[in-house]
Amino acid sequence: MSHHLFRDAAIVGVYNTKQARRLEGQSTGSLIRDAILGALNDAGMSTSDLDGILVCPPYMDRTTDAESRRWGYELGLRDYWVGSSVTPFLGVIEAAAAIAMGQCTTVVVATGQAGLHSDHQSTAPWTQIGEWTLPWGLFSVAEFALVARRHMHLYNTSVEQMAAVAAAIRSHGNLHPEAVMFGRGAVSVDDVLSSRLIAEPFRLLDCAITSEGGAAIVVTNFSRAQDCRRPPTYILGAGSDTRGPAYNLPPTWEMCGDLGSRASKNAFSMAGLSPRDVRACEFYDPFSFEVIRQFEAFGFCKEGEGGDFVTSGVIERGQKYPVSTDGGLLSFSHAGQAQTAQRIIESVRQVRGDAVLQIDNCDVALASLGGSATMFSAVLLIGQGRP
């Protein structure tokens, strides 16, 4: 067997700050600091262990490179590597690659958001960028809805099948004390179908919440990982693909229906695994339909069969392919870029065995990012064993 690219990198610390619709008294900066210190504490490390940093700002007018430089300085680091990925999800891959290349030893990947995309905005400001969308009242929900509607037309996928996804994920969030929607009650298919319409076929409960919060992940090298506080987890496989600029192109099924198929194939191939090896499906879930689409694109079922797949008794806790076991973007949190880190954080916790809603025998988790209408998709396979 050839040398695995990520053999010498491990994820050793993860942390979510408190997540809420509004975090009074918190700023983006205070959340990023708290997330970094929390993830280091989880690893049994301190800032003196860091020689790399990758901080993703939630604002479009700043870059990860600039934010990372600033935060490294602010944390008192001296010689440090900085990353440039726009999302912490891809930032973890970039950090692991930098460590594998010997550029640095220990990197914290962090983000946070407060006060920018708060309560009751219909869509995040950074998605409102398109010359070919904004004048027609098109926004993220409506663009994803266009994809879902086409799938309904092609494959008879039903709103009940989409609602089943939302109900399952939101019911997970209801049980998770760290979720924004914790304790709000189990959600049924009927609850989803009786919530108000947003952009047909999507209703309110088919759509991600908006919230505030921070998140961070510590990646280090293999030898340093052995004396951390928690058992290390490893990147077994990774893939990332783009088909064009986000939020500006007509999201036809031909353009983006199977987006993520190559990324997932790359990840599974690198890991020597297949979809049936996955124990936790920590999919990016901005909208209920995107889970159906990803089960198809990632090869868990055939194209067009996603609606039947999600209603075959597989996506809830205790079933074969539980989705978004922390409640996902639909009910855990959706805070700028934090939710992209949180798909990895929940994967790591499930694989380490210290998730709040722990799945039995979870040795492999799949985290994903992106979606059809955003024209990009990334996949990470997280596991217990060194690859």
Partner 1 sequence: MPAVNAGDYPTVRMTALTEPFWNACERNILTVQRCERCRQWNFPPVDSCRICHSGLVWSEVTGQGRIYSFSVVWRAPVPAFTVPYAVAIIEMHEGFTIMSNIVGSPAGDIAIGAPVTVTFVKRGEIAIPMFRLSRE
Helices 338-352, 88-100: inter-axial angle, 10-degree rounding:
60
Q: Is 385 exposed, middle or buried (CB count within 10 Å of its CB: 0-12, 13-18, 19+)?
A: exposed
Q: Please name the residue ranges forming H helices in the chain.
A: 28-43, 64-74, 88-100, 140-155, 159-175, 189-193, 222-225, 253-256, 261-271, 288-297, 306-310, 338-352
Both structure tokens of 11: 């994820």
**Which residue stretch of 45-53, 191-199, 312-320, 343-351 sits at the interface with partner 1 (rule: CB under 8 A)?**
191-199
| Residue 156 in contact with partner 1, rule: CB under 8 A | no
Both structure tokens of 295: 């089960």
Task: Between 13 and 257, name the residue whose CB sits nearer to partner 1.
Answer: 257
Among 25, 76, 102, 137, binds partner 1 (CB under 8 A): 137
Among 103, 252, 269, 319, binds partner 1 (CB under 8 A): 252
| Residue 354 in contact with partner 1, rule: CB under 8 A | no
| Residue 88 in contact with partner 1, rule: CB under 8 A | no
**Which residue stretch of 9-17, 41-49, 139-147, 347-355 sits at the interface with partner 1 (rule: CB under 8 A)?**
139-147
Which single residue is written with the structure tokens 């783009």?
A: 242
Task: Between 142 and 310, name the residue whose CB sits nearer to partner 1.
Answer: 142
Considering only residues 49 to 68 of the shown chain, the ones binding partner 1 according to CB under 8 A are: none
Task: Between 138 and 355, name the residue whose CB sits nearer to partner 1.
Answer: 138
Task: Between 128 and 174, name the residue whose CB sits nearer to partner 1.
Answer: 128
| Residue 194 in contact with partner 1, rule: CB under 8 A | no
What is the spatial distance between Cα 164 and Cα 150, in angstroms, rounded to a whole number? 19
**Which residue stretch of 47-55, 175-183, 196-204, 374-382 sits at the interface with partner 1 (rule: CB under 8 A)?**
196-204
Other beta carbons within 10 angstroms of residue 194's beta carbon come to 12
**Nearest distance from C-beta of residue 260 to partner 1, angstroms:** 20
Among 75, 96, 145, 180, binds partner 1 (CB under 8 A): 145
DSSP, res 384: S
Other beta carbons within 10 angstroms of residue 227's beta carbon come to 9
Residue type, 231: P
Total residues at interface with partner 1 (CB under 8 A): 33
Among 116, 198, 314, 356, binds partner 1 (CB under 8 A): 198
Closest to 172 measured CA to CA, from 185, 190, 191: 185
**Nearest distance from C-beta of residue 324 to partner 1, angstroms:** 23
Task: Between 145 and 315, name the residue whose CB sits nearer to partner 1.
Answer: 145
Distance of alpha carbon 271 from its chain centroid, rounded?
19
Please give the residue ranges that form the binding site for partner 1 (CB under 8 A): 122-123, 128, 131-139, 141-143, 145-147, 149-150, 153, 196-202, 248-252
